[in-house]
Amino acid sequence: MHTTGHTPHRLKKRPQFLRVAGKGRKVATPGMVVQILPDDTATETRVGFTVTKKVGNSVIRNRTRRRLREALRLVAREDGLPSGDFVLIGRDKTRERDFSLLKDDLRQALRKGLDVNFRESPRGTSTKGRDRAK
């Protein structure tokens, strides 16, 4: 895993976000959702931030986005970031969550999403009720 010590580039265009969502891994934590598309051959890290209108008005969404950006900046400075593409998705709890817990959520999501043994259930399939005896 290649880690970069510089400020990551930004994902800005919708197709870039859709590529990460379609091909990457998704890790949900209490403070955020992180979509990860690792790329060991890339020399740069690219990051995008998004917060839906369900979270609140523009002031709340921008505050949520700023908290995500700052958490990423500090985690990247302390731990480094692997190369690849990342999308941080703000949740309702992102703006209320204690900042140290928010940074821990990001670290946990990165660790879990970059783990080669991490398996997520495919989208659209539920595992509820499958363990019941027939």
Contact 48, 88 (CB under 8 A): yes
- Note if the pTM is more than 0.85: no
Could you tell me which residue, 34 or 126, shows the higher pLDDT? 34
Question: For residue 72, is it left (φ>0), alpha (ψ between -120 and 50) or beta?
Answer: alpha
The per-residue pLDDT for 5 is: 55
| Torsion 103-105-109-111 (CA) sign | positive
61 alpha carbon, distance to own chain's centre: 16
If you search the block for the tokens 């917060």, which residue do you land on? 51
The per-residue pLDDT for 39 is: 83
pLDDT per position as a tens digit, 23-68: 999 999 999 999 999 887 778 899 999 999 999 999 999 999 999 9
122 SS3 class: coil
Question: For residue 26, is it left (φ>0), alpha (ψ between -120 and 50) or beta?
Answer: beta
